[in-house]
Chain A
Amino acid sequence: MSAASAAVAPAPSRLRLGPLVLIAPAAILLAVFLVIPYLNILLMSFRAPGQGTPYGEGFTIANYLRFFSDGFYIRQVANTLWIGFLCTAICLVVGFPVAWQLARGSPRFRAIGYGLVLSPLLVGIVIRSYGWTILLGNNGLINRTLTNIGLIEGPLPLMYNALGIVIALVHVFLPFMILPLMAAIQGVDPSLETAARSLGASRLTAFRRVTLPLCMPGIQAGCILVFVLSLSAYVTPSLIGGLRVKTMAVTVVDALIDTFQWPWGSALALILSVTGALIVVLFARLTRMKWKVART
């Protein structure tokens, strides 16, 4: 539609066009770079494995059968989900008090705290992961210090295991938990706690029954963000997990790039995405806020 004809178009149609135009860039971006690639992956996951080529002739469900018949891969998915769950839980517990201080604390703390919270994001992901290997390795800073002061005899297993991956992921994903939590806490009127206490609730009860449920939108957003990011993290798990512990994302990349099995890698990627999505949907349903729905 040309500019001139848009100008004379009747008001109602222009009104309906407005939102469409505004969401168009995002919609196009999503369609071209998310939906189409996903469809491509879906198609690829049903292709036959190739000999010397990324994929072969014809279609098959063999890739999925291979996954479900091999406990090794199922355990790997479970492991990946466990790491995601741990990251999310730790970020929530560690992040909440920080978000609280940022939202309710003194303005001076807020400025400094904000910078500190965002600081993990200022360092590139590869450098940061190498940094963690320096700290966590058997010969790393932590183990050497502890050995030198005589607290431990042999090195603690901090790397090449789930613990190391969780430590490094929590470090970088913490801001994604803290920021939505902070916004949610800021949205809760402090006089609600006062009201709860005037009705006979202790500070703790007032927090548990009033403030915490009202922070739920932020908790939801933060948990989903951190969980999804942990499932799909690649660089950190591959550097810190090494060959010993592999998350699903690492295995997928191995299949696609190292061993060149595109259909197999696609099937693994889809299984991980669908499992993750199901968990997110379940979580969102369990934490659904009836009062939010009633607000309309």
Chain B
Amino acid sequence: MTVVRIESLSKVYGAVRAVDRISVEIGDGEFISLLGPSGCGKTTTLKMIAGFEEASEGAIRFDGADVVRVPAEKRDIGMVFQNYALFPHMTVDQNLAFGLEMRRVPRAEMRSRIDRVLEMVQLSGFSGRYPSQLSGGQQQRVALARALVIEPRILLLDEPLANLDAKLREEMRVFIRDLQRRVGITTVYVTHDQAEAMTMSDRVVVMFGGRIAQVGAPADIYERPQNLDVARFVGQVNLVSGTVASADDGTLAIDTAFGRAAAPARDGLHPGQAVTLSLRPEAIGLGAPGKAGAPGRVEARYYSGSLIDYRVALDGGETLHVQSFPTVAFAEGDRVSVHAPADRLWLIGAAQ
């Protein structure tokens, strides 16, 4: 299918650089998410790929060919909108047929393609209905079907699940991801929901203020955030302070409340310097007081069924957010010892 290359792409609105020189390559059949807070330029990037916004600078290549000058209707993309944008005056069938008619697909083939896609999104019995006669989740699937039935080179989705309730949203995540794998289409997915980006994507592009902060597999982004913004935006994070003990052979040894951690050497970090490390809540273990680890006290406990969240105050003064399975149960006020494997401590940078 299609490889998409974005080369130092920018969009300038007056004095605002909505998108600022971003570069990324999206592989054939890859599912990539643009993740970031509101206003970071996700939609603008997507619109430039689709051709609804003109790029101010840079190039967008589909299989090597620059498409910046190609009008939207010639780019052969399938797009799913946050509000679905189904045509209210057309039935499900007619909505799906629209893109095929534009491509002058013969009648008989049209019928079979529509039927096949409707079956894929599990809406076979709904072809005669108008969008107003469908539930939100069904409308969402029609929107997906309408984008897929034209067999586009690239599928673009802009927060397609934002208007669904939590349960349906989780179902649709899995549904879209499975469907995308089966069809094998290159996909760009925009979301500000980190859990959505993590569960669905092959790779995640984290954006802040129009720039790319980090690109990587979900585990990369989560376990090895490149800066504090990324660490904070992707899931919950504890910041642990440490001191550089030594720097030899390109490796730093860092002393923390949880023992000695190792990190690759970095410019500007030298022995004796105070640094900040990240530690994910589920990496932390709680034990009976007196066991190995840093002593502390459970300040608060939040039970959520599959997990329990604790807020633990270390005797050293730091407060940690800890997540554990209900098999480990402490009450508020209990004294605990807190331990964490050194390899889950990730160096963010010099302390601020």
Contact = CB atoms under 8 A, between A and B. Distances in A.
Contacts of A294: 130, 132-133
B52 interface: yes
Nearest to A198: B79
A216 B89 CA distance: 10
A192 B87 contact: yes
B81 A200 contact: no
Interface string B107-133: 000000000000000000000001011
Interface stretch (A119-127, A202-210, A221-229): A202-210
B85 A205 contact: no
Interface string B79-112: 1010101111110000000110011000000000
Contact of B72 (A197, A216, A291): A197
Categorize the interface residue count of chain B: 20 to 34
Nearest to A293: B130
B73 A295 contact: no
B133 to A, nearest CB: 6
B132 to A, nearest CB: 5
Given A194-B52, A291-B90, A200 B150 contact: yes
A189 interface: yes
Categorize the interface residue count of chain A: 20 to 34
B50 interface: yes
Contacts of B76: 200
B89 A289 contact: yes
B130 A196 contact: no
Interface in A271-296: 289, 291, 294-295
B113 to A, nearest CB: 14
Contacts of B81: 191, 194-195
B85 to A, nearest CB: 4
A97 B174 CA distance: 45
Contacts of B86: 195
B104 to A, nearest CB: 10
A201 B52 contact: no
A207 to B, nearest CB: 13
B245 to A, nearest CB: 56
A187 to B, nearest CB: 10
A151 interface: no
A213 interface: yes
Contacts of B130: 291, 294-295
A68 to B, nearest CB: 42
A214 interface: yes
A199 interface: yes
Nearest to A200: B102
Given A199-B98, A201-B98, A202-B73, A189 B83 contact: yes
A189 B74 CA distance: 22
Given A199-B146, A200-B103, A291-B130, A194 B85 contact: yes
B286 interface: no
A210 B52 contact: no
B295 interface: no
Contacts of A216: 89
Nearest to B78: A198
A191 B85 contact: yes
Interface string A209-238: 110011010000000000000000000000
Contacts of A200: 73-74, 76, 99, 102-103, 150
B82 to A, nearest CB: 9
B338 interface: no
A198 B87 CA distance: 13
A195 B89 contact: no
B319 to A, nearest CB: 45
B132 A295 contact: yes
Contact of A291 (B73, B88, B103): B88
Contacts of A205: 102
Contacts of A189: 83, 85
Interface string A77-113: 0000000000000000000000000000000000000
Nearest to B85: A195
A289 B90 CA distance: 10
B237 interface: no
A245 B73 CA distance: 52
Q: Interface centre among B81, B86, B103, by most A CB within 10 Å?
A: B81
A195 B79 contact: yes
Nearest to B74: A200
Contact of B98 (A191, A202, A209, A289): A209
Contacts of A209: 98
B221 interface: no
B88 to A, nearest CB: 6
B77 interface: yes
A81 to B, nearest CB: 30
Contact of A201 (B73, B77, B90, B132): B73
Contacts of B78: 198
A151 to B, nearest CB: 43
A167 B184 CA distance: 61
A213 B132 contact: no
Nearest to A209: B98
Contacts of B50: 198
A243 B106 CA distance: 60
Interface in A168-197: 189, 191-192, 194-197
A210 B102 contact: no
Given A200-B150, A291-B90, 6 more contacts: A196-B87, A197-B52, A197-B73, A198-B78, A213-B89, A291-B132
Interface of A: 189, 191-192, 194-202, 205, 209-210, 213-214, 216, 289, 291, 294-295
Cβ-closest 6 pairs across A and B: A200-B102, A199-B99, A195-B85, A198-B79, A291-B89, A191-B85
Interface of B: 50, 52, 72-74, 76-79, 81, 83, 85-90, 98-99, 102-103, 130, 132-133, 146-147, 150
